[in-house]
Structure formats: C-alpha cells, structure tokens
Amino acid sequence: MALEVENAKLPYLSKCRLIKQGAEARVYRGTFLGKPTIIKERFSKRYRHPVLDEKLTHRRTTQEVRSILRCRKAGISTPVVYFVDYTSHCIFLEDLEGSITVRDHIASSQESGRDPVCLNTLAEQIGKILAKMHDEDVVHGDLTTSNMLLRQGSGDAKPELVLIDFGLSFYSALPEDKGVDLYVLEKAFLSTHPNTEELFQRLLKSYTQSSKKAAAVIKKLDEVRLRGRKRSMVG
C-alpha cells in the first residue's frame, strides 16, 4: 500500500518495473529519453522526523551522485548519470545491459573449472581500480562482488569492470576508512567465494602496487582484521 501511495506521487515510476528493494532505496528498470535506464529512488523513513529525513535523504543522494561523477572523472567506469530529481530523490542511471556481476562470473568460472589465469587477471584489475578510487579519496562503503559488473567490450576486447551502487559512499583521506572498505570486501569476497584466499591476496597485491597511499591503508587493514578477530573470539 505504501509503495502504491509513493508511486501515485511519482507517476513515471508506475511505468517502471521494480527489480530490487533494500533498506535505503528501491531500484526500478525503465526508460529515460528513449534510453534503457535504472532508476534508484531513496524513500522516506517514517520513523524519522520529516525535516531530518529530508536533509539526510538529500545529502545521501547528493553524495552518491558526486562519488559516481568523481570516479568517472578519474577514469573509473561507473554508470552514466542521466538525471537527478532531488524532489523525489531519484537518480536516473545508465542501464548496463548485457553485463554480469563479478559474483556470478567468479561462481561460473569455479563451477566450470575454467582457466584460473582469467580470474587472476580479474583480481588484478579489481585491485587497480580500487586503488585509483581510494587515491581519489572516495570510499565506496559497500564493496562486494555483487556491486561490480563486467560489461563485454566490442569485438575481442576484454570485459570492462564497472563499479556500481555508491549509496553508502563518502569522501575520506583517512587510511582507516579505506582499510575498512577493503575489509568489507575481503569478508564479502571470502564468504561468497570459497577457497579464493590466494585470489584475494592477488587483488591486494595489485592494489598495493597501484596505489600511492597503499602502505598506510594496508597497515590499517591489518589492524581492522585484528579487531574483527577479537570481536569474533569474544562473541
């Protein structure tokens, strides 16, 4: 019922197909100016004061768009931002048709017993891109292999790695924040893809070689890992 009320206020969403709903946003597939489009709508939280809710939602929408644009300016592949409606808190993004998540690609490669060299190359590619993102002081906030897409290039070109879902992103020059970003990815990576410890180490090696600020970040990553282990022991 609540969704129907929201859509009554946003008539263009009623023509789109809801494909995902999370704690912070709903994601739709539709068209914008004749182009296949992903529409991300940040909805109101009824338990928050309306003024506070509006400020927080506006701030997070703005930060998400800024992070995407900052990454694109640095040469990192992200979806194109077509339009932002700050009244309804909707972001209209390029629909990366024909792409697959890195999660599905790794799972498929493991099941088929495909040449591990391909996965090693992918891990190195991920490491380089995350290093570039962190050198721009963008912290993703939700790094998982589901938030990375592979878009097939034209002809024999290798697939392009695209980062998506910057809904929890923020700017920070602190090695601690970047170390936590990598820790989140490590936990998600190893829990989603069993027996890939060496693959993740290859990713970190590539990150270290590619980032100008890697030494301090990796040091913080080790500290965060230690804190995580202590919490697990204590329960």
Which residues are known catalytic residues?
142
| Count of C-beta atoms within a 10 Å radius of residue 166 | 27
DSSP assignment of 17-38 equals EEEEE-SSEEEEEEEETTEEEE
For the sheet with 25-32, list strands across it.
17-21, 25-32, 35-42, 90-94, 81-85
Cα distances from 31 to residues 36, 64, 89, 109, in angstroms, run: 5, 21, 17, 33
Residue in the block written with tokens 């890992």: 225
